[in-house]
Amino acid sequence: MIRFSWVQFRLQAAVAGGALLIIAVAFALTGPNLVHLYSTIVASCTAHGNCSTATDAFLAHDRLLQDFGNLVIALPAIVGIFWGAPLVARELETGTYRLVWAQGVTRSRWLAARLGLVALASVAVAGLLSLMVTWWSSPIDRVNMNQFTSVFDQRGIVPIGYTVFAFAMGVAAGLLIRRTLPAMATTLVGYVAVRVLVTFFVRPHLIAPVRTTSALHMSSGMSYIESNNGPLGVIGAKPGAWVFSDRIVNAAGHSVTGDFLSRGACLQSRGSAACLGKLREVLVYQPASRYWAFQWYEMAIFIGLAVVLGGLCFWWIRRRIS
């Protein structure tokens, strides 16, 4: 049954393999150059004092290939829609289930082989793509220091979890809806909904964030962030960490508003001890050291969801196809 599953999957595997190969070649050709540029332009920028221009110039390279990070975002949905949704739906829609389920293997065995093979392939594709993008982007990520924040879902191992989950969702949708196109649409909507839910409502609470209150010291890389008469905040305090909030409070613990900076001692020097003296910084954040813990937890969540969906598929295929 595995061999037959391969016969049916060959074309899709070839397309994926070809695409990965092209990306690998593109990255292999440009990656070492990026590393070189980083070590020459950026690594020494602090000594030359021109970091902001140096980083801007650096980041301008290979803009197109940087968009391949988006491919990592799109990959799970693509796998779910093109590998997952048609798996069972196509057989039901074209009637070939009446041929293949009348052969000498049970439906469960059939599903296990089809599901297993393509799930493994999904893991492989997602893993390889993520690996390539993470490797190639590492100089850029070192400049942007945003792995834990804006590019969290395009790096590391979470794309594998997303992809397997989207695949399982696709198979389940195809099995229940029984027609390929509606199943594809449902998979996309469902996948996006779950991703949004987890990103905004689950991920922040996976580990209780660290709260610190300390004296305010503005060092290089940090700057104020102010909104119109709103609370005054700081950015750049913890590079590489995931900062939830970074507020400036006075000795009484109340938020300080932006107009504070335009009064008294701060008018002369915003960084002086006289200005900052009694101010404190209240920081709520996830330290950069927790990055991999979050990666593993989130991947585990999505793999868990995928396993549940997969189990349901096995239950449904024995009962609901009538």
Partner 1 sequence: MNPAVQTTALAKRYGRKWALRNCTLSIPAGKVVGLVGPNGAGKSTLLQLAVGLLEPTSGAIRVLGGRPAEGPAQLQRVGFVAQDSPTYSNLSVQRHLRMGAYLNSNWDQDLAQSRVENLGLGPRQKAGSLSGGQRAQLALALAIAKRPELLLLDEPVASLDPLARREFLQTLMEVVAVHGVSVVLSSHLVADLERVCDYLVILVASQVQLAGEVSDLLSSHHRISGPRRDPRRMPLQQEVIEESHTDKQSTFLIRTDEPVLDPAWSVMRVTLEDLVLAYMTRGRDIGRRQVPQLEMVS
Shortest reach from residue 309's CB to partner 1, in Å: 23
Judged by CB under 8 A, which of 9, 101, 135, 296 binds partner 1?
A: 101
- Tell me which of 39, 96, 245, 250 binds partner 1, using CB under 8 A: 96
Q: Which of 40, 46, 70, 103 contacts partner 1 by CB under 8 A?
A: 103
Q: Is there binding between residue 109 and partner 1 (CB under 8 A)?
A: yes
Q: Which stretch binds partner 1 (CB under 8 A): 27-35, 92-100, 147-155, 227-235?
A: 92-100
User: Using the rule CB under 8 A, is 284 a contact of partner 1?
Assistant: no
Count of residues interacting with partner 1 (CB under 8 A): 23
Question: Which one of 73, 105, 284, 303 is in contact with partner 1 (CB under 8 A)?
Answer: 105
Residue 106 as a binder of partner 1 (CB under 8 A): the answer is yes
Amino acid at 295: Q
Q: Which of 47, 60, 63, 95 binds partner 1 (CB under 8 A)?
A: 95
Among 15, 22, 99, 274, contact with partner 1 (rule: CB under 8 A): 99
Per DSSP, what are the bridge partners of residue 243? 285
Residue 248 belongs to what H/E stretch? strand 242-249
For residues 303, 309, 312 and 316, what is the CA-based torsion angle, rounded to 10 degrees?
A: -140
Q: How far apart are CA 191 and CA 46, in angstroms?
A: 43
Count Cβ neighbours within 10 Å for each residue of 53-78 and write b for 16 or more, e otherwise: ebbeebeebbeebbebbeebeebbbb
CA angle in degrees (0–180, nearest 5) for 29-30-31: 105
Q: Residues 52-58: contacts with CB within 8 Å, 24+ apart?
A: 55/143, 58/139, 58/140, 58/143
Nearer to partner 1, 11 or 47 (CB): 11
321 binds partner 1 (CB under 8 A): yes
Contact window for partner 1 (CB under 8 A) among 104-112, 195-203, 256-264, 273-281: 104-112
Q: At closest approach, how far in Å is the CB of 322 from partner 1? A: 5
Secondary structure class of 215 (helix, strand, coil): strand
Residues 6 or more apart whose CB falls under 8 angstroms from that of 218 comprise 224, 234, 270, 271, 276
- Shortest Å distance, C-beta 10 to partner 1: 10
Q: How far is the CB of 119 from partner 1 (least distance, A)?
A: 20
The reply to whether 97 sits near partner 1 by the rule CB under 8 A is: yes
1 forms part of the interface with partner 1 (CB under 8 A): yes
Would you count residue 92 as binding partner 1 (CB under 8 A)?
A: no
Does 7 participate in binding partner 1 (rule CB under 8 A)? yes
SS3 225: strand
DSSP element (H, E) containing 223: strand 223-225
Q: Does 315 bind partner 1 (CB under 8 A)?
A: no
d(CA 52, CA 56): 6
Residues that bind partner 1 (CB under 8 A): 1, 3-4, 7-8, 94-107, 109, 319, 321-322
